[in-house]
């Protein structure tokens, strides 16, 4: 079974993802990237890596292992501490570093952790590079000694440089905007409130006191209840929710209505098209993008090519076709004019800028699209790798697709990050979506046990 999933390596920390695995991955990554020419030009100096983490307790020993692996392979390591995943991508590009490593399991529960690699320039590694790294684990190698080993430095300026980058994306201050931000007790806990305040907003921060054990615990973008309650309590104009590593952004309007990634992209795409800065009048979505989003964009003359789930695939499409906006319903939004990866804080800033410049509420802006009712069921404890082999599942899906016609959509896929199969159905009514999703989920469960 492949070690790398949709977004790096992820698993139960100290069981699946151990210090030994982290160290070996770091060494293998250093070797593969060196051979691929990523470290070209380093004649009289060693290659350089940026290493960061979210607020999980396990990140402490995993970071130590990654740092040890890189330094032992002759790489100078700059530790930046607890920062969002997109901060690592930015810092790699900004500093000219050869490699970035982020220790995070994003929205997963605290016991999990993960390792994400960034190549020179700040982009995520492609599938071929990940496969090459995995193939090189535990191979014999000649270790540098003496002055040739890597050095380890604590980079105390990293947070401030990242905040400066975020604020430089704004062309208008957020003065007068009252917001609540849910930091998920994660990587955004210090950076997000500070950034929004400096942008001019009146900020109330919740779940911004990470303990190492409380990341994503009934908070953040996967648990919106407390954000909705706080927005109503303080009379805020809107609320922003981040996940554990802050590469996602979801929002709620002043009434507490959810504004997910599809709504956010629709709002940004429409505003950018009106301003003449939406390249080729196109926004890139995924196969999970809501049908309502696609229809709304089409009505505005905006194209929506789709990719597999995962912001890396969205970015690949954007780079290949030179598009500037794309993302996922889950809140990963990529804006290539400002960054080369999904950035939740950057997304929130741009969304709030549209609110300010338009003079409209987030609720009014969200009326740009009507969300098709969607039912999503995660089928756990099944042999997800056998999904494509089942003719009965394929026939069951086809039957329901015919009944839905153009008024709905079905997507059944194995998760790239968890041991389950996701069943998603969109239809004209909740009852219809839930009924079809339940029937397909039952079929998947019975066929893949």
Question: Using one digit for the tens of pLDDT, what is the confidence trace for 342-367?
Answer: 999 999 999 999 999 999 999 999 99
| CATH number of the domain that residue 194 is part of | 3.40.120.10
**Cβ 112 vs Cβ 10: under 8 Å:** yes
Residue 318 domain-assigned (yes or no): yes
- In three-state secondary structure terms, 37 is coil
Weakly modelled stretches of the chain, pLDDT under 50: 1, 40-41, 43
Together in a domain, 207 and 151: no
pLDDT score, position 73: 96
b/e map 43-74, b = 16+ CB within 10 Å: eeebbbbbbbbbbbbbbebbbbbbbbbbbbbb
Together in a domain, 134 and 214: no
Together in a domain, 185 and 299: yes
Together in a domain, 93 and 134: yes
Distance CA 250, CA 362 (A): 12
Residue 401 domain-assigned (yes or no): yes
Together in a domain, 183 and 293: yes
Residue 208 domain-assigned (yes or no): yes
Give catalytic residue positions.
106
Q: Using alpha carbons, select from 84, 107, 104, 57 the residue that is nearest to residue 246.
A: 84
Residue 164 domain-assigned (yes or no): no
Residue 386 domain-assigned (yes or no): yes
**Cβ 408 vs Cβ 427: under 8 Å:** yes
pLDDT score, position 127: 82
b/e map 193-216, b = 16+ CB within 10 Å: bbbbebbbbbbbbbbbebeeebbb
Range of the domain at 19: 4-158
**Cβ 2 vs Cβ 419: under 8 Å:** no
pLDDT score, position 1: 47
Number of DSSP helices (H) and strands (E) in the chain, helices first:
14, 19
CB atoms within 10 A of CB 10: 24
Last residue of a domain, one of 366, 398, 426: 366
Last residue of a domain, one of 366, 400, 417: 366
Distance CA 199, CA 85 (A): 21
Together in a domain, 393 and 435: yes
Residue 163 domain-assigned (yes or no): no
Together in a domain, 118 and 246: no
Last residue of a domain, one of 133, 158, 183: 158
Residue 352 domain-assigned (yes or no): yes
Together in a domain, 26 and 109: yes
Distance CA 285, CA 323 (A): 11
Together in a domain, 231 and 312: yes
Residue 443 domain-assigned (yes or no): yes
Q: How many domains does the chain have?
A: 3
> Could you read off the pLDDT of 95-138 as tens digits, one per residue?
999 999 999 999 999 999 999 999 999 988 888 888 899 999 98
Together in a domain, 224 and 312: yes
| CATH number of the domain that residue 383 is part of | 3.30.310.50
pLDDT score, position 35: 74
CB atoms within 10 A of CB 267: 24
Together in a domain, 88 and 130: yes
Together in a domain, 175 and 314: yes
């Amino acid at each position: 079974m492949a070690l790398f999933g949709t977004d790096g390596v992820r698993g139960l920390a100290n069981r699946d993802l151990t210090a030994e695995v982290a160290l070996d991955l770091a060494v293998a990554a250093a070797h593969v990237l060196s051979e691929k020419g990523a470290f070209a030009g380093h004649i009289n100096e060693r290659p350089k890596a940026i290493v960061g983490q979210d607020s999980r307790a396990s990140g402490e020993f995993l970071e130590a292992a990654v740092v040890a692996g890189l330094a032992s392979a002759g790489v100078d390591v700059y530790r930046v501490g607890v920062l969002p995943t997109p901060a690592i991508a930015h810092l790699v590009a900004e500093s000219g570093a050869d490699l970035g490593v982020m220790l995070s399991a994003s929205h997963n529960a605290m016991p999990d952790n993960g390792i994400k690699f960034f190549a020179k320039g700040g982009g995520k590694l492609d599938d071929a590079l990940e496969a090459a790294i995995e193939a090189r684990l535990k191979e014999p190698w000649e270790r540098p000694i003496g002055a040739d080993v890597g050095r380890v430095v604590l980079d105390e300026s990293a947070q401030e440089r990242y905040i400066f980058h975020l604020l430089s994306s704004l062309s208008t201050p957020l003065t007068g905007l009252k917001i609540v931000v849910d930091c998920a007790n994660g990587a955004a806990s210090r950076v997000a409130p500070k950034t929004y305040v400096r942008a001019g907003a009146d900020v109330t921060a919740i779940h911004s006191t990470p303990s190492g054990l409380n990341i994503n615990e009934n908070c953040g973008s996967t648990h919106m209840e407390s954000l909705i309650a706080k927005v109503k309590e303080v009379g805020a104009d809107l609320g922003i929710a981040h996940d554990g590593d802050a590469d996602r952004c979801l929002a709620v309007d002043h009434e507490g209505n959810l504004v997910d990634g599809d709504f956010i992209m629709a709002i940004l795409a429409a505003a950018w098209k009106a301003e003449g800065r939406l390249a080729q009048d196109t926004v890139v979505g995924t196969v999970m993008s809501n049908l309502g989003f696609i229809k709304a964009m089409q009505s505005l003359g905006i194209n929506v090519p789709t990719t597999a789930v995962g912001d890396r695939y969205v970015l690949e499409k954007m780079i290949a076709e030179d598009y500037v906006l794309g993302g996922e319903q889950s809140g990963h939004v990529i804006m290539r004019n400002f960054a080369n990866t999904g950035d939740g804080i950057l997304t929130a800033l741009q969304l709030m800028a549209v609110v300010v410049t338009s003079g409209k509420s987030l609720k009014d802006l969200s009326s740009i699209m009507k969300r098709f009712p969607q039912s999503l069921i995660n089928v756990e404890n099944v042999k997800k790798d056998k999904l494509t082999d089942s003719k009965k599942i394929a026939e069951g899906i086809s039957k329901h697709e015919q009944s839905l016609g153009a008024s709905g959509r079905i997507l059944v896929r194995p998760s790239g990050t968890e041991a389950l199969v996701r069943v998603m159905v969109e239809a004209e009514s909740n009852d219809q979506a839930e009924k079809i999703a339940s029937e397909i989920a039952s079929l998947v469960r019975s066929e893949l046990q």
